[in-house]
Amino acid sequence: MPQSLRVALAGLGTVGTGVHTVLTRNAEIIQQRSGRSVELVGLADLDLQKATALSQGQCPVFSDALVMLRELKPDVVVELIGGYGFAREFVLAAIGQGCSVVTANKALLAVHGRDLFDQAQKAGVTIGFEAAVAGGIPIIKALREGLTANRIEWVAGIINGTTNFILSEMRDKALSFEEALSQAQALGYAEADPTFDIEGVDAAHKITLIASLAFGMPVNFQAAHIEGISKLSSQDIAYAEQLGYRIKLVGLTRRRENGVELRVHPTLVPSRQLLANVEGAMNAVLVKGDAVGQTLYYGKGAGSEPTASAVIADLVDLARLNASSGQTTSVPMLSFQPEHLQDLTVLPIADCETGFYIRLRVLDQPGVLADITRALADGGISIDAFVQRPPQHGVQEAEVVLLTHRCIERNLRLAISRMVQLPSVLNEPITLRVEDLA
């Protein structure tokens, strides 16, 4: 029987506890699949009492993960500490000690991944991060292995369960954003400070990693365009429904001839699309490859055992590899061989191409729609659909909603600047992006 894979686990929060539970419960089937046992040789958490209770004397416990690393010299460390600071120090120390790393820390990899992946490559170890994107959904493995024959054209995903729950509640129950957020917090879907989720940062961390895997580029989180849902109105959600769309917070990356689009923002998606029908706190990722066409990956994007499932999948990969060949790395960490990674240009949002939803208040008088249409036409932008809410009794104002065909955002902004100069337009137009994902 091959020697067991010796694993040290740092961070015993929701996911860390789940990893311990699933590894213990499914030890036999994990060994049958990997060819050898995956053995927890140490646990580390600032709450030493919690670590002791979880261990039940089966392995040593530590309050300092670095001390655990130095004393135990494991084959693999699982980093579930979170954050950018100590977690980065711990991962670098593990790599320096010749130890592979498995992590669910998308923020760490999105911000510091360029350096961490480079250090791991030089040290001949690997960083597994299946759990860092979409929880239990095996999207990393799909991009690195299952779709490896494809030229990936684009990837679009609902990759933050908190915001998807909020948008589902706003649509289903006609709640305001604030009401839906309060409900999400009461049910445990949103943190007390939900900023990373509702402002799109969490989704941007994830789509940054996906873009690297899809297009063979180093992680470049700083270049991502990020918008959240905190300013979204239930009025716009209702109009979108009327037009046959649903509004989702979508992370999208697309390869274009002149670079890569990398963006997160509220997006109108056709209600007939599978992605539009992902509700509640669920996640889904849609991948378009040139050979396979569209493939959809759906499931729980967070939670103790779903995320633990992804962590352990990386551990099994490492156990299989070492058991069969003695190697320390498997498929390339970012899908492409390191020498073929390219610093592709991430396009500014003004150069991205999409359709647009525009809502504006106008005077209820002849010629107004013609003036608005002319402002768009001057920028080469055509209208796909529009609805108009008639003025209320005694009010000489109307509300107009337009959908445009695809255009470069820079041209749309110029058209909007011309619109607001019209005496008949009474507000700064509300604009949202539209993606048909066809």
106 is annotated as an active-site residue:
no
Under 8 Å between Cβ of 432 and 423 = no
| Three-state SS at 121 | helix
How many angstroms separate the CA atoms of 404 and 359, rounded?
11
Return the HEC string of 358-407.
Answer: EEEEEECCCCHHHHHHHHHHCCCCCEEEEEEECCCCCCCEEEEEEEECCE
Q: How far is CA 366 from the centre of its chain?
A: 46
Query: 412 CB contacts (<8 Å, ≥6 apart)?
Result: 356, 379, 381, 404, 431
Q: Tokens 């999105």 belong to which residue?
A: 110
Among 106, 206, 248, 288, the one annotated catalytic: 206
**Pick from 361, 403, 358: nearest CA to 382:** 403
CA torsion angle 54 61 317 215 (round to 10): 100
Cβ neighbours of residue 85 closer than 8 Å, sequence gap 6 or more:
none
Cβ proximity of 321 and 131 under 8 Å? no
Containing 61, the helix (H) or strand (E) segment is strand 61-62
- Helix or strand or coil: residue 128? strand
What span, in angstroms and rounded, lies between the C-alpha atoms of 214 and 143?
A: 6
The dihedral of CA 92, 97, 98, 104: what is its sign?
negative
Q: Quick one: which of 63, 89, 59, 84 has its CA closest to 74?
A: 59
State the DSSP code for 276. Answer: G
User: What is the spatial distance between Cα 333 and Cα 142, in angstroms, rounded to a whole number?
Assistant: 13
Q: What is the SS3 string spanning 182-237?
A: HHHHHCCCCCCCCHHHHCCHHHHHHHHHHHHHHHCCCCCHHHCEECCCCCCCHHHH
Residues annotated as part of the active site? 206
